[in-house]
Structure formats: C-alpha cells, structure tokens
Amino acid sequence: MYRLRFEFFFLGIYCLMDTWVSIKLVIGYLVTAGWRNGSRNNPDSIWITHCPAFRGMQESFPDSCILRGMIRSQFLLFSAVLLILYSCNSSKNEISDVSAELSSVPLPLDVQAHRGGRGRYPENTLSAFAWSREIGVDTWEMDAALTSDGIPVLSHDPFLKGSLVRDENGDFLEKDIRIADLTLDELKHFQVGEIQPGIRYKERFPNQHSSSESIPSLDEVFRLAQEFGGNVRFNIEIKTYPPYPEWTLGWETVTDTVISVIKEHDMEERTTVQSFDWRTLARIKELYPEMRISCLTVKNFKHGNDSYNLQIGQSGPSPWLAGFDADDYGSVAELVSAFGADVYSPYYKELSSSEIKAAQSLGLEIVTWTVNDKNKMRLLIDEGVNGIISDYPDILIEVSGNNASNR
C-alpha cells in the first residue's frame, strides 16, 4: 500500500503543473483508492468481476486470496498509472497548445512618425510632434544636427536649404547655410513650416499643413514630451557624413553632445539612437552601453558620386561602417548582428521575408523606413517587422490597428 502511495506521489510531482492537472490527479487517486478498498473488502468487487476478461481469469485460477490479490493489485496499479499518465499527457498538450497560441500573437507594432509625420505637418517641427502625439504614435523619429555653440537641433540636412527655410523677412533662402556655422540664437531667426511652392518636394507632400515656427532644439522636443506626459519614445538619428567631415562639427562631438542632452532629461530608457554613420554607434556602444542603438542601412543610395552606407561589392570596408565590411557577411542582418546593434533598420525596398526571419533569429528588432503605401504597410506587418517609420503615421495606425493611446 505504501509503495503504491509513493508511486502516486512521484507521478503527482510530475503532473502538478497547473490547477486542472491537480484536479484530475486528485480524482484519479480517490477513484483508484476506492477500487483498491472495494477489492480488498469484497473479493467479487464490481470493478473486477464485471469485467469478463478478469472474471475469466479468476475462474481459471485456484481460489487463492494471494493470487487473486496479486491480480487485483496489478490491475489497480496499472489502471492508476494509466490514468495519471493520461492526465500528464493531456496537460502537456494543453500547455503546448496555449504556448503555440501565445507565440502566434504578434507583438504591438512600433508606429514611428518620420520627422514627426512630414506627410501631414512640416518635418522636424514641434507642431509635427504635437500632432503625432495626439493621434497616438509610439515613437517620434527625428534628425539631429549641432550648432556652432554645441546645441543639438532638429534638421535632416547639415545645411539650411531654400526649399524649407525662410529668412526673417519670410523669403526662402537663396543659398545654403551650414548649421555648424550658426549659434542657436542665430538659428532661431530663421523660419520653417512650409515647403517652397513650385518645387518637386512640394509635390511629394501636397497635403502638408503650413506653419511658421523656428527650428527646435532637442531640449525643446524633450520638454514638449514632458508637457504631454505619457511614454512616447524617441528615435534620434545622428547626421554625420564620413566622406564629408566638413559638413558638420566632429562626429565624436556631435555624438557626445546628443547623448548628454538625452541624459540631462533622463530619457535613456525611452530613446534609441540611429545612424548611417556607424562610427557614432560604435562610440555609443563603448562609452554609453546603456543606450539602445539602431543600424540604418541602405544599399543603393548615393551622395553625389559616392555610394552611401553599405557599399556592397566595393573594395575594402565602407567608411560608414566603423571598420566593418558588408562583403564579409552572408546577409546585412548578420553584419548588423556582428556589429552588436539592438535594432536593424533597413530601407523597406531592400527587405525580404528571409532577411526578416534571419534578423529575428539573431535577436534583432527590425524597424524599416520609410513606408507610406498602405499595401506595403500590410505586407511588412504580416511579415512580422517590429516597427515601421512612416511619413503618414495616421495611415499606419489605421492599417495596423495599433494606437499607443489605446494601450
């Protein structure tokens, strides 16, 4: 009797994985105990004598209590073991089914407003970020440059350009002005908020609202987010150019200054720093390992006559990749993983289903840029990307059904 109870005990330890299994085990034990007691007190117990096979066995053997007891004990032990193992197997199947269901549920898509959502509002402006916050984006994506007095400001280009910037009289600039030559106070005399009429860039974003505002500093962006409350995140691109160091202040200075402002506002946990210039990311990895970094990648873009970023098929490492050579790796995902980034951020036209699977198998998040077409959004979401950067975050929210204000 005690040996049988110990067998129940060890089998029970194996099975006691959730409440339902526990209930089945207790029922199994009580029922089996009832069988054993009924057989001991009544040699003609219904559990054995009503079974033709066992009744026949009893009739063919001598009327020996020991032998009949052995038959009953072996039968009861066999039945109990089968019952408990059935419970265990059933539980494992149930747990496996639940795990499969959970693993098939996609994680929420990270909806990123490219430059604040330039399809609707002027790029890299406070009005754009305020609007994108109101519609419920997850992340404000932006570009950082550095003034001559060391203040990070928002600009995609290292120069003020006549296509986007007006002087104090409201006239669009006739020539480019390097941001690194201006102090923050001098920069604030220029106006943004409208694309120059009649140029091709205006045709790309015909429904963009117009405003008149100054170029914001990164400090102003963080303060705006704090005024709103909530947990909007930031994806800040450091804009430095290895083939053209004269366009900006030194890349080390730009990197360190941007990080210092992030830390000043205690925004480390909410911020990812991205760049095509991986030297900046390598520096962040070394000096600020608590920061998340994202490798921006592109294969077929050019600056003038120079290939941008990956430079696949060219001799030696690309100057954009901090000593890494894309040709040494089987895929861009493997390159980014070897570099040690948290996020792989490719141009969406260069992203395949196999590349998505490869990147995620390497533990990388995938945030792709810049996707404005509904069908392409759906396709990428179905393929399982972690985030999408879009000029039209309102459309992306509609397509994905993902609104940060609802979470």
Q: What single DSSP character describes residue 371?
A: -
Task: Please compute the mean of the pLDDT values over residues 269-291 and round it to a whole number.
Answer: 98
Model confidence pLDDT, tens digit, residues 214-240: 999 999 999 999 999 999 999 999 999
Closest CA to 139 of 47, 11, 5, 274: 274
Evaluated on CA atoms 83, 84, 87, 92, the torsion sign reads negative
**Strand ranges in 321-360 using DSSP code E only, listed in sequence order:** 343-346
pLDDT band at 383; cut points 50, 70, 90 = very high
* Mean model confidence pLDDT for the chain: 82
Confidence (pTM): 0.75
pLDDT band at 306; cut points 50, 70, 90 = confident
Task: Please compute the mean of the pLDDT values over residues 119-139 and round it to a whole number.
Answer: 98
pLDDT at residue 65, rounded to an integer: 40
pLDDT at residue 225, rounded to an integer: 98
pLDDT at residue 112, rounded to an integer: 98
CA–CA distance, 321 with 340 (Å, rounded to integer): 12
pLDDT band at 87; cut points 50, 70, 90 = very low
CA–CA distance, 246 with 189 (Å, rounded to integer): 24
Model confidence pLDDT, tens digit, residues 24-43: 444 444 444 444 444 434 43
pLDDT band at 107; cut points 50, 70, 90 = low
Model confidence pLDDT, tens digit, residues 8-18: 444 444 444 44
Given the structure tokens 């129940």, which residue do they identify?
A: 8
CA–CA distance, 358 with 372 (Å, rounded to integer): 24
pLDDT band at 44; cut points 50, 70, 90 = very low
- Angle value at C-alpha 127, between 349 and 213, nearest 5 degrees: 115
**Strand ranges in 51-181 using DSSP code E only, listed in sequence order:** 110-113, 139-146, 152-154, 159-160, 177-178
184: amino acid identity, one letter: L
Report the b/e string of 129-144 with b at 16+ CB within 10 A: bebbbebbbbbbbbbb
* Domains in the chain, CATH or no CATH each: 2-103 (no CATH), 110-406 (3.20.20.190)
